[in-house]
Structure 1
C-alpha cells in the first residue's frame, strides 16, 4: 500500500522531530539533515542523513528509515523471501536491472548534494546497484525520491500494509 502523500519536500528537523526519531530508534538521532518523508500519522519516517556523521564517521545511508512499524513490516517481507525473488528477477531482466542501476545513480546524486565524502564514493545502500540486500534502505530511498525512481523500493511499498493506521510511528509497538 503506497501512502497518498508521496513524495514530499524535505523539511527541517525540529526538536519534536528529533525527539520522535530518538524514540523510534531507541537512541539519539545522529547527522540528520532533513525529514525526507513524514508518515501519514505525522511523524518523521525517513531521515535524510548527512554523508559524514558529527563524529567524522562516513555514513553512506542517506535515507534512513526510522519508523519502527514500517521497519517491522519490511522485516517480515525480508523474512518471507521477497529479496530472493527480487534478486532472481534482477538477474533475469536486463531492463529491471538497468532501472535498479539508475536508482543507484539517483541515490549517489542526492547524497552528493549534501557533501562529498571520498571514503564512500560510489557506495549507495540496499545492495544497489547490483542486488537487493536491504529493503529498509530501498524503501527509504523510494519514499524520499518518489514513485518511479527505485523499482525495488516501489515494489516493496506495494507489498506493505498500511502501517500508520493503528498508532503513531513514534511508538515502538507493532500493531500489525
Structure 2
C-alpha cells in the first residue's frame, strides 16, 4: 500500500528519492570538477613558484594552498546552495527530482510552494550538518525508511517538508 501526503499525492519512495539524489550528486560532481581545474592550476603555479626560490619561503605556499582548498570547499557549498535552494525557486525542482518526477511540498500547507527559507533550512540540515557531523548524511537519508506517516528524512522534518511523486 502506497502512503499518501495530506493533499492526496503519493509519497515518494526510497528508491525514487535515492535515484534523484544520485542524479543531483552527478550534477554537483560535474560542477565541482569544473571548479577544481582553475584552482589546481593556481595551486600548481604557487608550488612551482616556491620551488624555484629558496626553501625558507615554503611556509607561505602551504598557507596559500590551504586557502585555495578552503575557497574551493566554500565554492562547492555555495554551488550546492544555489542548486538546491535558488534553482528550486526558479524551476520548482532540481534535475534529479525532475527526472524522477518528484516534488517537495510543505507539510503545513501542501498547496503553497516551499519558500526560500524552508528550502534553505532543508539544505542546511542536509549539507552543512552532513559535512560537520560524522555519519549524519547516512542517518538523514535512511531516516525515511522507518519514519511514519510521511517517510521524511531529518532535513524534511527540520524544514517541515515532504517529497511526493508528482507524475
Q: Give the TM-score of the pair, scaled to structure 1.
A: 0.26
Q: Give the TM-score of the pair, scaled to structure 2.
A: 0.27
| Structure in which a larger fraction of residues adopt helix | 2
